[in-house]
Amino acid sequence: MAKAQYVGTLFILSRAMLLLSVKKTQEALPLLAQANQIVESWQGTQHQREHVKLFMLVLQVCHLLSCGQVKTVKPFLKQLQQSVQTISQPGYPSDEEWCMASQPADQFLWLSREQLCIIVYVVSVKHSMHSGFMDKGLKYAEKALSQIQNRVSSSNSLLMPFLQYLLLEHQSLCHLVMGQRTEAIKEIGQALSLCRSAPRLYPVSIAQVRTLIGLYAMSMDALDYAEAQFLASLQATQDPELATFTRLNLGILYLRMRRNEDYVRCAELTNPENLPSQSFSLKAASYFVQGMQCFFQGKLNDAKRCLRETLKMANTEDLNRLTSCSLVLLGHIFLALQNGREAMNMVTPAMHLASKIPDNHVQLWASLILKELYGQLGDQVREAEAYQMHANYAQLLLGDQSSAQTLNEHNLIQWLDQQIPSFIPAGLPSISTPSTSTSAI
């Protein structure tokens, strides 16, 4: 058995990967635990152990991120980043040298060193985004995209285009959170351009693209178009996590449109007590949407109860954006209840957290509440500062909205056909994206 340890462990991990891909988590986790025990008592070469450990860590990190466990995943992600740094050292044997020194039966790599490095960047982007650090996620994405650009021309594999698509998807989500819709819709267009160049990507990514366009349309206040895109996404997906995420945003849309009956039908499938998704973060988000509904209905005590549950869950796993949104809505509720002290206790940390993300929409909302609070206190200086802050965020967001509306890609909000629109060019999108680390739904 010791002689077949390396290949045997690869088979165990491959089976776990397949089970995770079809959401059979309870069957996959014992296999990951078995692989971990083998790695801890490894009898093969150090290079074999490092490769198997990387495979195992990638699966563990991807599983925990898919469950929305952003804090729990940190030690595993740190190990993964350290392992990929180890195999990237100048003196470490290349893949070719490693295979030549191995027995014939062991001359098999799950992925090349370059591919592993890119995958580690991709999961780091995902982790940063879910943690609420958009600038950090964008920096990781730029590094990964530059590495992909160096490999795309020399590979016919679907892996690189798929990883590039994932990075574009997460870049667009980061820019939507930051209020940079012009950049977001460009990246959505690039993702579709990639699907045109690699047709096998289209069927596995179209539902996500529809949801992205819906989020963009909702951030542009094109609510009817957003609804059509969300419904098209739900028709195209069988992924319970994506379906839940889409329905939660559809629920918020219905609340904004005052369509309570449609919201109730949608909410039946997003009740946090029997959510079809296994994701911790989506369950926390479902309590937030419930709290928002109670707020719109004037049931302020029920709203506070739901939002406090959201905060408890969000703080458990460092879901910073959900924390900031919950705090600012609680601040709005306490303002409505004429409880200025509690409102200030909610809005001040919300504003601080939103500035770190950065989330211009939450800062716009929080600055308006601060203006009202300082006005009630008679603090004219701080009231004027909050008013100016609110005006600055409003001007920034309106300017970006006007800019986005001038782009051809903005017309994607009307696209519901199966065929990719003609104004989306074929060919791999350019990925020499300028840094957005200093830039400010």
What is the tens place of the pLDDT at every residue in 4-47?
A: 788 899 999 999 999 998 889 999 999 999 999 999 998 878 88
pLDDT at 435 over 90: no
pLDDT at 101: 54
pTM for this prediction? 0.91
pLDDT band at 152 (very low <50, low <70, confident <90, very high): low
3-state SS of the chain is CHHHHHHHHHHHHHHHHHHHHCCCHHHHHHHHHHHHHHHHCCCCCHHHHHHHHHHHHHHHHHHHHHCCCCCCCHHHHHHHHHHHHHHCCCCCCCHHHHHHCCCHHHCCCCCCHHHHHHHHHHHHHHHHHHHCCHHHHHHHHHHHHHHHHHHHCCCCCCHHHHHHHHHHHHHHHHHHHCCCHHHHHHHHHHHHHHHHHCCCHHHHHHHHHHHHHHHHHHHCCCHHHHHHHHHHHHHHCCCHHHHHHHHHHHHHHHHHCCCHHHHHHHHCCCCHHHCCCCCHHHHHHHHHHHHHHHHHCCCHHHHHHHHHHHHHHHHHCCCHHHHHHHHHHHHHHHHHCCCHHHHHHHHHHHHHHHHHCCCHHHHHHHHHHHHHHHHHHCCHHHHHHHHHHHHHHHHHHHHHHHHHHCCHHHHHHHCCCCCCCCCCCCCCCCCCCCCCCCCCC
Q: What is the pLDDT of residue 437?
A: 30
pLDDT in tens, 35-79: 999 999 988 788 888 889 999 999 999 999 999 999 999 999 999
Whether pLDDT at 426 is above 90: no
Confidence at 112, pLDDT banded by 50, 70, 90: confident
Whether residue 214 is predicted with pLDDT greater than 90 in this model: the reply is: yes
What is the percent of the chain with per-residue pLDDT over 90, rounded to a whole number?
Answer: 73
The pLDDT assigned to 304 comes to: 97
Whether the per-residue pLDDT at 1 is higher than 50: the answer is no
